[in-house]
Amino acid sequence: MAISRAGFRVASWAGQFLACSRPSWRCVPRTTARPVTTIRPRQFATAASESAPKKPYYVTTPIFYVNAAPHVGHLYTMVLADVIKRWRTLIGDADAQLLTGTDEHGMKIQQAALAAEMDTQAFCDMNYKTFEALANAANMDYNYFIRTSEPAHKEAVQYFWEVLEHRGYVYTAKHEGWYSVSDETFYPQTQVQKSLDPETGHTKMVSIETGKEVEWSSETNYHFRLSAFQERLLDLYKTGFITPTMYTTNVVKSVSEGLQDLSISRPAERLTWGIPVPGDNTQTVYVWLDALVNYLTKAGYPFAPGQGSRLGWPADVHVVGKDIVRFHCVYWPAFLMALDLPLPRNVLVHGHWTMNREKMSKSTGNVVNPFFAINRFGVDSMRFFLIHQGALVGDADYDNAYIIRDYQKLLQKGLGNLAHRAIGCAKGNLRTYIENGTCGRLPPATPADEAYETMLKDVPKRVAEQMENLNPRAALQEITTLIDQTNKYFHHAEPWKSPNDRQRSIFNVAESLRMAGILLQPVMPTKANELLDMFHVDKTDPAKRNYAAATYGSDADYGVDAKKSILFPPLIVES
């Protein structure tokens, strides 16, 4: 039975959900008449068990705007998140979850559809498919591709709004400021400056942070009491919430200087393409409030009592570009704090990709079509390059010559050639070397063998430490260093001169390739498994290819009938 509370109708379970203390201050009076909002009851499936289920590890990409085609930066974000998800699967989190998708609301999309002379929904229905196709082309192991135009997301956003309002964190007021359509946000006077447009010769106002044009806007809309969360946010940043920590400094500085309340709606007369504010069709929900809730939508929000973790909430890692740090590290945790919802455990920030050390821009033509790159170099080669060269701190420069360089040196001549030579050196007897190595029948270790084996045994732990620190690039560099050291060890041991006397070095090289193949699976899932197949590591037994198996001497069963094959064929280099 519903009860009345402060003008709201609240279902009995919702009353418990909303029973947290409310702010001590009073809301300012409304400046526009509006019907009283009703928090609507939700229907939930009965929990399978009274005990809380284990929370899946939950990784997200940002959701991508469908106003323009994806570029290589989108591909990098997708691959970075995918590597983290696949790593969690490798170490035993079988239920790890990965979310990606598209942001389909807001002024940019409304204007892009108008320019294309298309119905806005039809425009979104067409363009989201390109991002979904990219996720598939990148071999992302995602669990859900979300679209903010989905009915379930609209319901989640409107409910989120209703609870914010019920708790007193929403009020109406006139808002004036510099608004960027491209960034979908207001900027204060201190964050804008004049800039000369080289194409027109006219002066315009732009955001200092992003360089995007802003225009003066004055409107009455709804505001969120962001200023109430300054101290709680500053406490949050002390916990290591943002990775790498370099980005924390700027966020702390910005928040410490004071937070202004945030405009969270736009007049429908200006913005029609979005989710209507509950009970007030004259206003549209701010696209960033709308977009951020997608992470909750996938996790089944609004949650039944005690069931928030069943589908992964809170997120373990939000992977984001450095241009959207403020939205994910200031606005998003404040929204969640207002509802007493668990906060994401970490926001992993990465830098941008540039060309010729300049930011990629469609207007200047220096953008990379990710589909062309994948088709030319192969998906695993592109995944390897992006993780190996992509920067978390700072930016990385993109050039086809760099991809060719890394492919030839690290993959073709490094990993591929090493595997080819190791199997060739065994002369069809690799299985014998594996049996002797795992049964303790190898010749005594030389000092060089001992030093190499000590290094090899330590690599999986170092890779795991880097992944635990959310640094896939450093983890991959540990593996590429292993391959380099193995090539040097192989060269100095010269087992081809006397295979029987140098069985230990052949076994060690085979082990390094088996272990590297296991550890490379999150980065290069197809090629890593081809490498393991070359050495006949049992593919029918998952335990033979998980992280625990990347232990020196742990697999006594591989190497049967191992045959040489070309793992990384020569690239066809265009002149």
pLDDT digits (tens, 9 = 90+) for 126-179: 999 999 999 999 999 999 999 999 999 999 999 999 999 999 999 998 766 777
pLDDT at 574 over 70: no
Instruction: Classify the C-alpha dihedral 549-554-556-561 as positive or negative.
Output: positive
pLDDT at 112 over 80: yes
Rounded to an integer, the average pLDDT of 292-313 is 90
Domain count, the chain: 2
Rounded to an integer, the average pLDDT of 291-302 is 96
CATH number at residue 190: 2.170.220.10
Take residue 186 and report the two structure tokens written for it: 């207001």
Predicted pLDDT of residue 79: 98
Buried b (16+ CB within 10 A) or exposed e, 66-94: bbeebbbbbbbbbbbbbbbbbbbbbbeee
Rounded Cα distance between 111 and 107, Å, is 6
Predicted pLDDT of residue 205: 79
* Interval 243-273: pLDDT, tens: 999 999 999 999 999 999 999 999 999 899 9
Q: Do 64 and 109 contact (CB within 8 A), yes or no?
A: no
Predicted pLDDT of residue 550: 98
* Interval 460-475: pLDDT, tens: 999 999 999 999 999 9
> Where does a domain end: 215, 243, 263?
263
Tell whether 525 is covered by a domain.
yes
Tell whether 476 is covered by a domain.
yes
Tell whether 141 is covered by a domain.
no
Predicted confidence band at 452 (pLDDT cuts at 50, 70, 90)?
Answer: very high
Percent of the chain exceeding pLDDT 70 equals 86
CATH number at residue 413: 1.10.730.10
pLDDT higher at 218 or 572: 572
Predicted pLDDT of residue 82: 98
- What's the longest Cα–Cα distance across the chain? 91
> Where does a domain end: 238, 263, 288?
263
Work out the mean pLDDT of the chain and round it to a whole number.
87
Rounded to an integer, the average pLDDT of 305-315 is 87
DSSP letters, 460-514, are HHHHHHHHHTT-HHHHHHHHHHHHHHHHHHHHHH-GGG-TTTTHHHHHHHHHHHH
Which are the contacts of 437, defined by CB distance < 8 A and separation ≥ 6?
503, 504, 507, 508, 510, 511, 553
Tell whether 405 is covered by a domain.
yes
Tell whether 351 is covered by a domain.
no
Rounded Cα distance between 208 and 17, Å, is 41
Tell whether 368 is covered by a domain.
no
- Which domain range does residue 475 map to? 399-549
Tell whether 520 is covered by a domain.
yes
pLDDT at 283 over 90: yes
Q: In which residue are the tokens 């194409």 written? A: 199
302 upstream amide cis, omega within 30 of 0: yes
Percent of the chain exceeding pLDDT 90 equals 73
Q: Which of 13-17, 98-102, 289-293, 332-336 shows the lowest per-residue confidence on average (mean pLDDT)?
A: 13-17
Rounded to an integer, the average pLDDT of 487-511 is 90
Q: Do 110 and 271 contact (CB within 8 A), yes or no?
A: yes
- DSSP secondary-structure letter at 34? -
Rounded to an integer, the average pLDDT of 311-318 is 96
Take residue 218 and report the two structure tokens written for it: 């004055």
* Interval 28-43: pLDDT, tens: 333 344 444 444 444 4
Backbone angles phi, psi at 558, to 5 degrees: -90, 175
Predicted pLDDT of residue 157: 98
Predicted confidence band at 75 (pLDDT cuts at 50, 70, 90)?
Answer: very high
DSSP letters, 407-434, are IIIIIIIIIIHHHHHHHHHHTT-HHHHH
State the pTM of this model.
0.86
**Coil vs helix vs strand at 255:** helix
Predicted pLDDT of residue 237: 98
Rounded Cα distance between 476 and 467, Å, is 9
Q: In which residue are the tokens 């809301």 written? A: 27
> Where does a domain end: 247, 263, 279?
263
